[in-house]
Amino acid sequence: MKSAKNGDIVIIGGGIGGLTMALSLHQRGIPCRVFEAASEFRPLGVGINMMPHAIRVLSTLGLEENLNRYGVEAKEFAYFNRHGQEIFTEPCGRFAGYEYPHFSIHRGDLHQVLYEAVVERLGVGAVSLGHRCAGVEQDADGVTVRFEDAPEQHGRIALAFDGFHSALRHQFYPDEAPPQFGGINMWRGVTRRKPFLTGASVTRVGTVQVGKMVIYAIRQFDDGTQLINWNTEQPRDDHKLNDWATPGRIEDFIEPFAGWKFDWLDIPQLIADAEFILEYPMVDRDPVGRWVFDRVALMGDAAHPMYPRGGNGGAQAILDAECLSGLLTEHEDPVAALRMFEAERLEVVNRIVLTNRDQPPDYIIETVDNLTGGAPFERIEDVIDPAELAAISDRYKDTARYSKEAACGR
């Protein structure tokens, strides 16, 4: 096995952010090595939305064609109340005039596209599996990264892309409170079936108070069927540990959705036909005021774990990678580049963490639900001006930096 040399950048964690970082540095001719805790990569998780701001970065890395091959190019965001009535629909990605598409994709497929590109471009030895980071030490010249059951590694700087349960975040914030549970539990699954609505609609239905669902296609098969990703949210007093692989049971969450047989989708059937179901609590952590500690930076979920709403957990990790690799190219001193990275990203992303708690995009449905008292409506125009609903959506895009201008990197 190769060791990281003193001049290398050490990336801890080979998830979405860590692998994007490796590709981005490699594209700029900056040597790096990735150390990942898992002993093998498995297609874990379910669906993830990659919107134009993230796809711009991945396209620059030459990955758009592969993502298109695995995922589904989304056409619209569609919002429905608990009665299945359409509240608001707007085009997304290229269908909304963005320069880059919006892909809905299995997280395992996205990870695979990134991993294959890293192996092809940096070589198979660039990612060391079975390396669980235990801590880092640093001096004026560089970093020493320690692992459980593996030799230590040296480098110029260390980038902690080690996810929600980051070992390095714990090193720098040893007294941090446990993850913040928002009183909401999620059950997620995938079901193969014929397409619904446009076949490329990212659909949100209901409100979390009574039961909410997010439903979208993530794979297209030759026989015309699709793999549909669905996610339910419900209020709960307690929760299990946040592990993306915890299995879920239909009987624990089906009740509010049992009557949701709409003319555009039979939701109880969708759930009953699931290939598997996973359970995950809605957790994040309070934003912190510092991600960079001289030669070590917390990045991605290690820096800003957020509710998985609005497709921004993965996207912001990707944007972190792009931002820092650009700064490392411009500045010879990596410590200065890390400081600038923090100055550029910390406030922006911390705001997304807080917005995802109480005003995610599905705030549109909550607004209408409050106005109608949860009852069906005759005409949405009699309830609220659709321009006000569009304004809610636009506000989230501004905060999450995927308005048309921001998504293009302007």
Ligand X SMILES: Cc1cc2nc3c(=O)[nH]c(=O)nc-3n(C[C@H](O)[C@H](O)[C@H](O)COP(=O)(O)OP(=O)(O)OC[C@H]3O[C@@H](n4cnc5c(N)ncnc54)[C@H](O)[C@@H]3O)c2cc1C
Binding site for ligand X (CB under 6 A): 12-18, 35-38, 44-46, 48, 107, 131-133, 161-163, 167, 244, 300-301, 308, 313-314, 317
Q: How far is CA 95 from the centre of its chain?
A: 22
Closest residue to ligand X, Cβ-based?
Answer: 15
**For residues 242, 245, 250 and 254, what is the CA-based torsion angle, rounded to 10 degrees?**
40
Residues 6 or more apart whose Cβ sits within 8 Å of residue 272: 250
Q: How far is CA 315 from CA 56, 91, 187, 249, in A?
A: 10, 19, 22, 29
Minimum Å gap between C-beta 344 and ligand X is 17
For ligand X, which is the closer residue by CB, 297 or 368? 297
Minimum Å gap between C-beta 385 and ligand X is 32
Minimum Å gap between C-beta 48 and ligand X is 4
Minimum Å gap between C-beta 83 and ligand X is 27
44: nearest Cα among 73, 11, 15? 15
Instruction: Round to whole Å and give the CA distance between 226 and 113.
Output: 19
Could you list the beta-strand ranges (E) of 332-404: none
For ligand X, which is the closer residue by CB, 75 or 131? 131
Minimum Å gap between C-beta 35 and ligand X is 6
Minimum Å gap between C-beta 12 and ligand X is 5
Instruction: Round to whole Å and give the CA distance between 213 and 1.
Output: 46
For ligand X, which is the closer residue by CB, 93 or 300? 300
What 3-state DSSP class applies to 296?
strand
Q: Which residues sit opposite 137 in a β-bridge?
A: 144
For ligand X, which is the closer residue by CB, 107 or 295? 107
For ligand X, which is the closer residue by CB, 15 or 71? 15
Cβ–Cβ under 8 Å, residues 133 and 146: yes
For ligand X, which is the closer residue by CB, 157 or 389? 157
